[in-house]
Amino acid sequence: MDRNRKNKLIKLGADPLADALIELAVRVEAADDLIERLIATPKENIKRYKSKLADIKCRQQFISWKESASFAHELEMLLADLESGVADPQTGAELVASFYQADGDVFDQCDDSGGDVGNVFRFDAKQLFVSYAVQCQDKKWLSELVFELNREDDYGIRDILIDCAVEFLPESMIRYLIDRFQIAASKETDEYKKRHWLLRVESLARQIKDAPLFEKARIAAWGTLSTAACVDIARVYLESGDAKTALSWMDRVSPEETFQTNERDQLLHEIYGVIGDQDQQVEVAWRIFRRYRSADALTDLLAVIGDDQSTAVIEGEVTTILSERTLSCTDARFLVEMAHMDAAETYLFGRADQLNGDFYSGLLPLAEAMETTGRHLCASVIYRALLDSILRRGRTKAYPHGVRYLKKLDRFAASVSDWQRIENHTVYKDHLSQKHGRKHSFWSRYKK
């Protein structure tokens, strides 16, 4: 908040501020709505909420993705009316539930590709529901409300209130809900509908750290368990304080399995740490580090093997990276992070033919690192790859970046005396002009 501006506005007094707000309300609909909410009584705000929600449910006009952010803001203001009008927690929870029950009408009338509308349900409505639910004394009634609300969830949005149940329900009521969900699942003949209930059992079991119940629900939902299921069950056992059983579930996954390799190793690293099996933890820590070398991964590795091993580890990894023939942007970035710039330059320039400018997010930081440290030859081959990618794909929106890269190459050329095995800048630029000469939009930008 801008405290200085706020103090100046306070000094103006009520009348000038009221006049300014009324003038603004004439021009801006959102400001008019804000004023109406501020001056309305609680009962009037509840009425406004119900009226607005009914209006939204009855609309016929489709809202495009370009307009969905404004629609999301309208929904936020709707919830603000509710919050301003309701003090009774039971009434508030019930009215927020009515907002969730309107999910079909809301999503059917808009293109929410950007996720703005969904986020109102996931964050704003959820936060408001929890604030009322925490204060609600009748937890049995509240549990029934959540259960009824989750009978259907065609848009995958209502289960957010299940996933945060531990914030507003005691364990006894959570177990009551679990029983209700299990009974509902047992009555279903359709596998999809059965899983609908069992997934909610899983969520609640995890929240109360009941790993055996989570395991039972997962098996009931899917029967034969996949690698992902074994990992999930192991994780819940670990969270519940049973590391040995967690390890037994991880042992069910074949060492040759490649799915979720990193997730599995991260979990094993935690399990071995809790159990106290340092040898296994060290082995896993090395696997994680070498799969994706980074400063953070090095820190995690040293936490297991000892900080005094830092120099030896880094020097050994530099040697290993330089011996690899295949380019890895991750390894190149690690060399830069470790300030081994000569090694990074040697590594990148020696694999210039493998540079793919399509992966600009990985290459651009490396180009900038080479540029910043005055390694203009190496920077040139990377910027060339980025520029070639932009022109090859004809990405007009990226032409300003391409122009910037080419002008950098022009500047670098003056400081490069030995082009070694790559063509010099003049030859490269001639070839670029011959190949992409008809991309007039690019060249006109460049000439400017």
The gap between the terminal CA atoms of the chain, to the nearest Å, is 42
9 pLDDT above the threshold of 80: no
Three-class SS state of 249 = helix
What confidence score (pLDDT) does residue 2 get? 73
Q: What confidence category does residue 287 fall into, taking pLDDT thresholds of 50, 70 and 90? A: very high
CA distance 164 to 132: 13
pLDDT tens, residue by residue, 354-364:
999 999 999 99
**Model pTM?**
0.81
What confidence score (pLDDT) does residue 6 get? 78
Q: What confidence category does residue 25 fall into, taking pLDDT thresholds of 50, 70 and 90? A: low
Percentage of residues of the chain with pLDDT beyond 70: 94
Q: What is the mean pLDDT of residues 165-180?
A: 98
pLDDT tens, residue by residue, 138-172:
999 999 999 999 999 999 999 999 999 999 999 99
pLDDT tens, residue by residue, 202-235:
999 999 999 999 999 999 999 889 999 999 999 9
pLDDT tens, residue by residue, 30-57:
655 665 665 456 677 788 888 889 999 9
- Domains of the chain, residue spans: 17-139+148-162, 355-448
26 pLDDT above the threshold of 80: no
What confidence score (pLDDT) does residue 13 get? 76
pLDDT tens, residue by residue, 246-262:
999 999 999 899 999 99
Percentage of residues of the chain with pLDDT beyond 90: 83
Q: What confidence category does residue 76 fall into, taking pLDDT thresholds of 50, 70 and 90? A: very high
